[in-house]
Structure 1
């Protein structure tokens, strides 16, 4: 794979994930306790033998840049020609920020060309899945394709949010519609559509040609799905590559965690007895930055009759966390979380450094990094109260507390009103 350049689009704002994306780009949002969303695309690259990577950032990329430089550079050897470069917007070609996915790649065309790749693989940095990209590249070469698109069967309702392809018997793309309100189904299968995963393999020279042509079109949104792909399917060799899952489960696993509820459910999948996503597969390891913290600790504080028993059931508990006389059920605790005596946390996601004060009860909540919950607080039991406190409540009833939210002052004001 020495002749392949991987370009990961990681500048997404992730508006539907606010407030989790208030201070970070969507690919930098924590997932599964210790990971970030970007780790899945990067792990796929590494496991596929792709060691020439450019990561294009834009929106609030500082935490993403720090995560990649601290946690990922050690896997690449510059002396052997390997690299992972984080490239912020430079406005070398245009004075505007990226106008679309194709424009993001076009504005970095000089950085790509200097590596003289034969093939360019373009990936989204905000999806959860396992995939061997080398198989897709081989498929692309074997078919003599100009462009190959990763394809995933989805329901017609889900397909409204994707580009949908129509293919012939050889998997050559003969039709493409971006986010159609009435997507076409697979012939003979009215319950499924063939969706684009936003994963592309281009012949490098062909890609650069198309990007330069698209850049001159004033009526273009400069987007792969809206403009580039529809303009070439009639004249060029464009193929669909059926998604081949490396998760080794009965059903293929691919998740777009673009909304708070989708993000919450994908995390909650991980605490099941037999989770849909296997984080423990040594044949396809997931890598990330691992902080230097002590092992998790469970403290039995006093008498069990008092309810001061530190325990976690059906949960993920990361390093440095202390459950001191509290109980945790079906939850994910990031690094250095503390759950104090007489607390009960259920069906929740606690990011790094969260501290839950004594006698608190937390249910169906996402609490961002470093938030301190004062003693005796209840979250997730009265959604109207949570809204009045200024917390975000998703359409599915998940309470989200943002990093920096002054929960203590909110609760103190409530107590003063009652008094």
Structure 2
């Protein structure tokens, strides 16, 4: 298996509905569940499936992504042979919502030609799921498929494709003659000469493509049944390890049904919320149904309900911010929000 399947992650996608959270980062690097990034899920799935060579194709705003992944050590991908590879796009104006741009891949043709893996799994970077790709490869081979497109149980495409590496190279080399620009073009062309199969996945999977969707998916993690479908003991989700002290709960603080990462100082109330590393919540502050990202500071006597605070946000004392499940109140990275600003 180690030499049979090549991992390819398209990290170029940009969803306008997530604009407030993508100003300083790519979608792949979007924080999730307090201590993860969105890309951690597909990357961990690949590693857990025995894949030892993974290529990531980002486009813009990928500094935070590269900082997060580094050499791939936390995913056991810092290897002398194979390992983790980055291939930033030389094309600025390509369509960011087509998974697996053939132009982007073709600009790095040597990588695919040097790969020793017989098959490649091409995936988007923004699906929250826990999947073993090995049964899909077995099914693909026994079904004599040329291309397998993975579908969710509701029938929608998960924008993940399994294909022989040699066929992928052929598609890249003939893209100008065929007019195919990505994998979607191939599978949706009724006149192609390939056997295209659909593999139905019935596990938990959500594609993050809007603020509302990101918020609801995050809040659902607070439900035990959802958490157990996503974070499996035998198939862990890996992420960048940071050495930080345990969270400190000051006398008088109150926490109920919340996920709180390391390095926080909690002096107020937190309910039904996700709190990332290094967050400080002041005395008398109340945080409900919210997502608070890394190193935010919420001063005394604030009230936040259905709010998303991006990293390094400061909320001044006495500030009240309220959103809703369908329209959470979003504060962009590094901003300061005060009571007078909301009056």
State the TM-score, normalized to the length of structure 2. Answer: 0.92
What is the CA–CA distance in structure 2 between the aligned matches of 1:233 and 1:197, rounded to whole Å?
22
What is the CA–CA distance in structure 2 between the aligned matches of 1:272 and 1:318, rounded to whole Å?
17
Give yes or no for contact 2:146–2:164 (8 Å, CA) kept in 1.
yes
Tell me the equivalent position of 2:121: 121
Tell me the equivalent position of 1:179: none
Alignment counterpart, residue 261 of structure 2, candidates 290, 308, 318: 318
Alignment counterpart, residue 407 of structure 1, candidates 325, 333, 337: 337
What is the CA–CA distance in structure 1 between the aligned matches of 2:204 and 2:191, rounded to whole Å?
28
Question: Which structure has the larger Rg over C-alpha atoms?
Answer: 1
Tell me the equivalent position of 1:191: none
1:379–1:70 Cα change, 3 Å:
farther
Deviations 1:56-114 (A, max 9, x none): 110211101111116645612423x230112212x3xxx66544433232332222212
Residue 359 (structure 1) aligned with residue 340 (structure 2): no
Comparing 105-114 with 129-138, which one deviates more in the overlay?
105-114
What is the CA–CA distance in structure 1 between the aligned matches of 2:50 and 2:317, rounded to whole Å?
50
How far the C-alpha of 1:14 sits from its partner, in A, is 2.6
Tell me the equivalent position of 1:198: 159
Matched positions, count: 338
Alignment counterpart, residue 281 of structure 2, candidates 339, 348, 362: 339
What is the CA–CA distance in structure 1 between the aligned matches of 2:122 and 2:256, rounded to whole Å?
40
What is the CA–CA distance in structure 2 between the aligned matches of 1:202 and 1:109, rounded to whole Å?
16
3-state SS of the aligned residue for 1:17?
helix
Where do 5+ consecutive residues of structure 1 fail to align? 155-193, 245-251, 301-308, 384-393
Tell me the equivalent position of 1:222: 181
What is the CA–CA distance in structure 2 between the aligned matches of 1:87 and 1:269, rounded to whole Å?
34
Tell me the equivalent position of 1:242: 200
3-state SS of the aligned residue for 2:225?
coil
How far the C-alpha of 1:115 sits from its partner, in A, is 1.6
What is the CA–CA distance in structure 1 between the aligned matches of 2:134 and 2:24, rounded to whole Å?
34
1:279–1:317 Cα change, 3 Å:
farther
Give yes or no for contact 2:180–2:186 (8 Å, CA) kept in 1.
no
Residue 102 (structure 1) aligned with residue 101 (structure 2): yes
Matches within 5 A, 1:5-404: 5-69=6-70, 72=73, 75-79=76-80, 81-89=81-89, 91=90, 97-99=93-95, 100=98, 101-103=100-102, 104-154=104-154, 194-216=155-177, 220=179, 222-225=181-184, 227-231=185-189, 235-244=193-202, 252-275=203-226, 278=229, 280-300=231-251, 309-324=252-267, 326-380=268-322, 396-404=326-334
What is the CA–CA distance in structure 2 between the aligned matches of 1:414 and 1:267, rounded to whole Å?
26
1:96–1:370 Cα change, 3 Å:
closer
Where do 5+ consecutive residues of structure 2 fail to align? none
Comparing 110-119 with 352-361, which one deviates more in the overlay?
110-119
Give yes or no for contact 1:11–1:61 (8 Å, CA) kept in 2.
no
3-state SS of the aligned residue for 2:20?
coil
Deviations 1:168-206 (A, max 9, x none): xxxxxxxxxxxxxxxxxxxxxxxxxx2221111111121
State the TM-score, normalized to the length of structure 1. Answer: 0.76
What is the CA–CA distance in structure 2 between the aligned matches of 1:397 and 1:230, rounded to whole Å?
34
- Give the aligned CA root-mean-square deviation in angstroms: 2.1
Deviations 1:38-69 (A, max 9, x none): 00001100110011100111021110111111
Give yes or no for contact 2:315–2:336 (8 Å, CA) kept in 1.
no
Give yes or no for contact 1:273–1:314 (8 Å, CA) kept in 2.
no
What is the CA–CA distance in structure 2 between the aligned matches of 1:117 and 1:97, rounded to whole Å?
31
